[in-house]
Amino acid sequence: MRHIPAFRGARSRRSHTSTHRLRRPRAVLATASVLVVGGLGLTIGITACAPSSPAVDTVGAVDFETPLAMPPLAERTVDADGTVHVDLKATSGSTSFVDGTETPTLGYNGSYLGPTIRVHRDEHFAPCLTNELSEVTTLHWHGTHLPAAADGGPHQPVEPGQQWCPEWTIDQPAATLWYHPHPHEETERQVGLGLAGMLQIEDDVEAALPLPRDYGVDDVPVVIQDARFSDEGEFQKTQDFVGTLGDTLLVNGTIGPYFEATTNVVRLRILNASPARVYNFAFDDDREFAMIASGGGLLEKPAQLDHIRLSPAERAEILVKLEPGETVTLRSNPPNLGESFQPITGSAGHDDRFDVLQLRAASELDHVGEIPETLTTIEPIDPADAVGERSFTLNGHNINDKQMKMDRIDAVATVNTTEIWNVLNEMPAPHNFHVHDVQFQVLSVDGMPPPPELAGWKDTIYLEPDVQYRIIMEFTDYADGDNPYMFHCHLLRHEDAGMMGQFLVMEPGANVPSRWVVDETPGDDDNSADAGRHQH
């Protein structure tokens, strides 16, 4: 087995120890300014750039007068060999969120958001994007295990008027994933204008369970974005450090939505498609619900919860029991952003409350079954199989003191190996962490076993400040020295500002192509013009 060079704190394969890294002053990028600060300097510098916004509270103020819009199911065509084709067009237009006002928006196959795509495990999938925008875009398949050339990151730009048609075989468990643009430095704006859609993978394990799965009837997509409107109806950006925080929620593009439930159990597939906001979803009567799936698929058994925190790009599937004739409201309470969070970079929405979606149960409800006691089997990835460990520290707009460079590779993994990544947010402000291609498992949170909602497959995780997250992942199937995958903070303004790195998955013993600068060691970007220019 090939040794992976430049690992930080590499340990014996059988070491399971979880330890904190020592803190030290770091270069902190605040909004548009670079501030080299530490301790109190961090507080002063960022506060000056990002004043705190007043708290938003819509609880009790939402009329719920509009039926929840339901994204259409994408049209599929199937070749004789079984290949599934889905055509998407990225278009610009306008959407009327409020009567009499048109808002400039972007969408897939429409003016805002995109259709829900359903595919089955083992299907060969060949989507095709036509870019009808006047700007470059990409189409990233978030949470999907696929070849790097099909990932749709910043290295697969689609020029105006051009098409991009990747293909791969779906080979991962049933899950709620999504698709969205990932152009370099333009992701926040394009996603915020509406380029997002849901990708649902089905498989035989999920199909055998007595779960609601009638799309739009008892199996409901809930795509949530927050927005702030100008007097003219346009989306406005805010200068919060975390990114734009809106004062109005759009649920599947609907303001103040209600859903008429006709079954005693409703499955909500919640996607936080907001560029920056962290939500704390609960119901207005504090009822418990059953979380059945995280972003990467089913949990082993339902987790009985009364709230769940979702940061940008995270998903959760929940089952809600209803009684005939009752009305219950899904809301977002002030989120716990971590014990070490401080509102020095702006409020980050930590005091905000929203009424999100009203569920109205019919006077007679169809019975769709009980909530299963068990859902699936998740085989734990054995830490003893890890070939090494890496450490990633997030601070300001940097990961390991570095910002994204399109020609630099920050990690080189070997196909069919396992790695442990130790991820730490050293800043008293929100960040999260997304890894392309893989679904990882959480080994520990601050040295403790993960809570039930983090015990399944994940591709994105919220990082509470000063808490170490130890995750484990396998790099399987695909090796490509020409196309990297990304890891980054999924607060999209942070991603656009350079809080992102790149990794290659290579065949054993293969050399990294000479066009890449390989720098697997953390450090300042500009310490040396020749720093890290080595090949494997």
**What pLDDT, on the 0 to 100 scale, is given for residue 249?**
98
Asked if residue 447 lies in contact with residue 18, where contact means CB atoms within 8 angstroms, the answer is: yes
CA dist., res. 480 & res. 504, Å (int): 7
Distance CA 419, CA 388 (A): 6
Angstrom distances, CA of residue 413 to CA of 2, 251, 436, 507, 518: 10, 39, 13, 9, 12
Do 276 and 85 meet the contact criterion of CB atoms below 8 Å apart?
no
- Contacts of residue 80, Cβ cutoff 8 Å, sequence gap at least 6: none
DSSP of 383-420: GGGEEEEEEEEEETTEETTB---TTEE-EEEETTEEEE
pLDDT digits (tens, 9 = 90+) for 502-531: 999 999 999 999 999 999 987 554 433 333
49: part of which helix (H) or strand (E)?
Answer: helix 40-49
Residue 380, Cβ neighbours under 10 Å: how many?
Answer: 9
Interstrand relation of 124-131 and 140-142 (parallel, antiparallel or unpaired):
unpaired
Give the E-state strand segments of 13-169 in sequence order: 26-30, 33-37, 66-67, 77-78, 84-98, 101-108, 117-120, 124-131, 140-142, 163-164, 168-169
Query: Closest Cα partner for 223 from 72, 92, 365?
Result: 72
Residues of the chain with pLDDT under 70: 1-53, 523-536
- Look at residue 54 in the predicted model and tell me its pLDDT: 83
Q: Are 202 and 297 in contact (CB under 8 A)?
A: no
Q: Which two tokens stand for residue 301?
A: 């058994």
**Structure-derived torsion over alpha carbons of residues 526, 30, 422, 440, reported in degrees to the nearest 10:** -110
The enclosing H or E element of 189 equals helix 187-192
Residue 487 near residue 392, CB atoms below 8 Å: yes
pLDDT of residue 26: 40
Rounded Cα–Cα distance for residues 93 and 175 (Å)? 31
d(CA 443, CA 455): 9
- DSSP reduced 3-state for 191: helix
d(CA 200, CA 125): 13
Query: The pTM is what?
Result: 0.90
Q: What is the pLDDT of residues 313-331, one digit of tens each?
A: 999 999 999 999 999 999 9
DSSP lists the bridge partners of residue 224 as 251, 272
Is 180 in contact with 460 (CB distance < 8 Å)?
no
Q: Which residues are CB-contacts of 503 (< 8 A; sequence separation ≥ 6)?
A: 409, 410, 411, 412, 413, 484, 485, 486, 487
Rg of the chain, C-alpha, whole Å: 22
| Residue 454 dihedral angles phi and psi, to the nearest 5° | -110, 15
Give me the sign of the Cα torsion angle 231, 232, 233, 235.
negative
Dist CA 212 CA 196 (whole Å): 24
Count the residues in the chain: 536
Residue 40: its pLDDT value, please? Answer: 28
**Cβ-Cβ contacts under 8 Å for 172 (sequence gap 6 or more):** 121, 144, 145, 201, 296, 297, 439
Q: Would you say 162 and 131 are in contact if contact means Cβ atoms under 8 Å apart?
A: yes
User: Quick count: other Cβ atoms within 10 Å of Cβ 304?
Assistant: 11
